[in-house]
A and B are shown apart, each in its own frame.
Chain A
Amino acid sequence: MSLLELKGVKKIYQQGKIKVPALRGVDLIVEQGEFSTIFGPSGSGKTTLLNMIGCLDTPTEGEIRLNGNKVSDLSRKALAMTRRFNIGFVFQSYNLIPVLTAYENVEFAIRLIDHTSELKVKERVLKILEEVGLKGLENRRPNELSGGESQRVAIARALVKEPKLVLADEPTANLDSKNAADVVKIMVKMNKELGTTFIFSTHDPMVMEYAHRYINLKDGMISADERRG
């Protein structure tokens, strides 16, 4: 059973009286442990496709299955629960909560799913922060962290709950090349060590270098889907 299956997924946005198709029928299968990139020009539907895969939005037409479960017509609450337990997100602009420390930002994600002891949670949060190279910076707030460090916190937040799937929408777009490379290397490491499936949208050739699969989106349709190695 594939981790993710999309069949004939269409998304049409209504802007006033005009219907704007963002996805025109996407068929896609993603297996557990893949490290894939979605690329394409602006307006090609990358973010819309990630939103559909991430259960942030539902398709106008078509079917999405995550872990064999149909998620394309779930209620708002059921979608939230699916995201909570199965999907991690990394955003271009980090989206950390400014009043929380790095530790607390990561803890926030795990508190949603783990109601076990304080000690276990602490252990898990500190471990993931160490793995993304933030040991010693746990008590810093986002305004005391660099862009690269902030994105590492965001990655730790996405990974701490050990999701099956991590979606990253242009995660290196706001980073310089060194920090971008560091962030991507961390994700590659997590992909290898934890077997977490990563799907990126990116324009960054350096990020694409690390990917196993390249999905090219054009005008809301997959125009190319290649695997490396």
Chain B
Amino acid sequence: MKFLWNLAKKNLSRSRIRTSISAIAIAVAIIAVVFARGLISGMIESTFENHIHYKAGHIRIIDEEYKLKERLLSLNYSLDGFNGKGYSEMIEKLKSVEGVKQVIPRLKFGAVVSRDDELVGMMGWGIDPAEEIAFTRIDEKIIEGRMVEPGSREVVIGAGLLEKIDREVGDKVTILYTTPFGSFKGSTFQIVGKLQSALQILDDTIFYLPLDQAQRILEMPGEVTELLLITSNQYKAASILPGLNELFSQEDESGKYILQVWNKDYELIGLFDIATKIYNFVYIFIILLACFVLVNTLIMIVNERTREIGMMSALGLSSREILYLFTMEGAIIGVIGSAIGAVLGGVLTKVVSVIGLDYSAAMEGMSADLMFEPIFYTVFSLENLVFCFVLGVFVVTIACIIPARKAAKLEPTEALRQI
């Protein structure tokens, strides 16, 4: 077979332009696939990260009823620890479960601020600043001022929300809210920081305040609305569920709490899995489109070399060897095209992983609930390049079997008769 392999290589030099065009077509397709995979990986990773940071942790503990009323920011289904002993004790016990690295408490509530004669709706997040910084690095998103400190009546507000309520860092703001007991109250806070992130929900809707202050104004001492558990590996978060279930069966008599795993109990994340599988078919389709150029070239080659195929048959080459010869010719073009495509696609992906692609105009009408950032950064990985290269070579080689079979099926006498 070695001499057939050598012949296949030499045959590619017969028409360098034709070989180059075919290889370029494959390369362009592979560039597109490398880039698309990098972009989609970037979108998914970024969305997963935001989903974990601002919504789900790796595992979220909430009251079962809160799940149904979460959109209304109900405070009636709070988390008050095991048997009402407070969330602090619950955190300590959760930290003793193997695999739990960090526990983040949050108290989320709805509020309004008056601006002239209109009310601006917003969402307050009572947080433990140290834990929140360690988890989400939120301090890096503060573009002016600083993060709130425990025990202080201060807030950090998103840039978009600050603009909406016409306030600046250093100003005071009176926030109106309803306690779980139905009292409508107001409290004044000092604005100590301005937050700017890529997420619409953070910039336009949320303000942070110290957890103790949120508990104080809402009259909810020892209560939060949720606890987020962080593990060492987000993709193995579910593996600590048995330990947690054991703790809850021992400590929690009410049975009112539920555990939500970030990638199992949220519909949106499930959709990403489906989307990823669909995209894999799209990648194959893109390469197949490029294969049309190559298959067409090979069909032309087979037609041009019909007499030669007849001669090779006469020399004693079997159909299988002729099939091998033509498939190898296509496969070599596939290897060259895929290698060039993988390298150039890798360069493009690397560049966009630094500068990003701004989709903000396209995302203007989308719900703020979606944790998409308007600037997408691709993910550069060698795995992506190797995957696309192998996929390219595989698909191209399979596609080449069509013209190669045409060559292999030629009857020697008919082939030799060809002028």
Contacts and interface: CB of A to CB of B under 8 A. Distances in A.
Given A57-B413, A76-B319, A100-B10, A108 B3 contact: yes
A89 B413 CA distance: 13
Contact of A91 (B7, B11, B14, B416): B416
Contacts of B10: 99-100
Chain A to chain B: the 10 pairs with minimum beta-carbon distance, closest first: A84-B316, A95-B311, A111-B3, A99-B10, A83-B316, A80-B318, A89-B314, A56-B412, A57-B413, A51-B413
Contacts of B311: 89, 91, 95, 97
B405 interface: no
A99 B313 contact: no
30 contacts: A56-B313, A56-B413, A56-B416, A76-B319, A77-B319, A77-B320, A80-B316, A80-B317, A80-B319, A81-B316, A83-B313, A83-B314, A83-B316, A84-B315, A84-B316, A84-B317, A89-B315, A91-B314, A93-B307, A95-B308, A95-B310, A97-B7, A97-B308, A97-B311, A99-B11, A99-B14, A100-B10, A111-B2, A112-B316, A157-B315
A4 interface: no
A97 to B, nearest CB: 6
A149 interface: no
B13 interface: yes
Nearest to B14: A99
Interface residues of B, number: 23
A97 B307 CA distance: 10
Most chain B beta carbons < 10 A, residue from A80, A93, A100, A111: A80
A81 B2 CA distance: 18
Interface string B1-36: 011000100110110000000000000000000000
Contacts of B7: 97, 99-100, 108
Q: How large is the interface on A (under 10, 10 to 19, 20 to 34, 35 or more residues)?
A: 20 to 34
Interface string A143-166: 000000000000001000000000
A54 interface: yes
A210 interface: no
Q: Is the interface of B mostly helix, strand, loop or mixed?
A: helix
Nearest to A48: B413
Contacts of A126: none
A24 to B, nearest CB: 18
Interface string B314-338: 1111111000000000000000000
A51 B413 CA distance: 7
A76 B253 CA distance: 80
Given A95-B307, A95-B311, A85 B3 contact: no
B160 to A, nearest CB: 67
Interface string A73-96: 000110011111101010101010
A107 interface: yes
A108 B315 CA distance: 9
B243 to A, nearest CB: 64
Given A56-B416, A80-B316, 12 more contacts: A51-B413, A56-B314, A57-B412, A80-B318, A84-B317, A91-B416, A95-B307, A99-B10, A99-B14, A100-B7, A108-B7, A109-B315
